[in-house]
Chain A
């Protein structure tokens, strides 16, 4: 079974999820559990940093799809940053790049969340 790791860090009020390895149907429950935990604890500004994410299937993308509406209703967002070209292309294949905010690096992404918070 391929390795998958998930780590969360709070950066300027943004919950940054660092995904590492191979996120498929076998591993997705851990990702969903962490996302649910963040939302339950009222963390609605969520950034997924995929710098070390090698592979993602529809199972992982489905989790992001399943919670984005709730997070946006609460005034937050789920953004993604630092994806490899290969993983970014997988998101693009299902049309996510037209719906989600994909940012090249973490710092710029965090600043985008600050902009949302100031407007609110």
Chain B
């Protein structure tokens, strides 16, 4: 549902269909990370998503509790991940590649993932 909602909102705010598709994928990855890593796949937990629309871009904030994400600033190297036979970690790479900014913070036990995407200027 969040994928369709994000695609709809971003399309309404003049992102191209291709950009809207990519932004909704980034949100899908972020929410999947929360459910999998912070909530241990529990399906009865709360996630709040806020969309802030501004001239030239969109800011999306995802609030959740549970474990904070294990996010490193280190560049994700797919060749190294293949050698280690890793299956996870690509979601964060996708998020960082698609969005212009991805930041995490924890405030009083509540985690927040904030992502920003600016519209391309022609």
A: residues with CB less than 8 A from B are: 24-25, 55, 57-59, 61-63, 65-70, 86, 89-90, 93-96, 99
B: residues with CB less than 8 A from A are: 18, 21-22, 25, 28-29, 32, 35-36, 78-79, 81-83, 85-91, 93-94, 97-98
Q: How far is the CB of A25 from chain B (nearest CB, A)?
A: 5
A24 near B87: Cβ-Cβ < 8 Å? no
B25 near A90: Cβ-Cβ < 8 Å? yes
Q: Chain B at the A interface: mostly helix, strand, loop or mixed? A: helix
Complex Cα spacing A86 to B86, Å: 25
Q: Chain A at the B interface: mostly helix, strand, loop or mixed? A: helix
Q: How far is the CB of A46 from chain B (nearest CB, A)?
A: 15
Quick one: given A58-B94, A94-B90, are A65 and B32 in contact (CB under 8 Å)? Answer: no
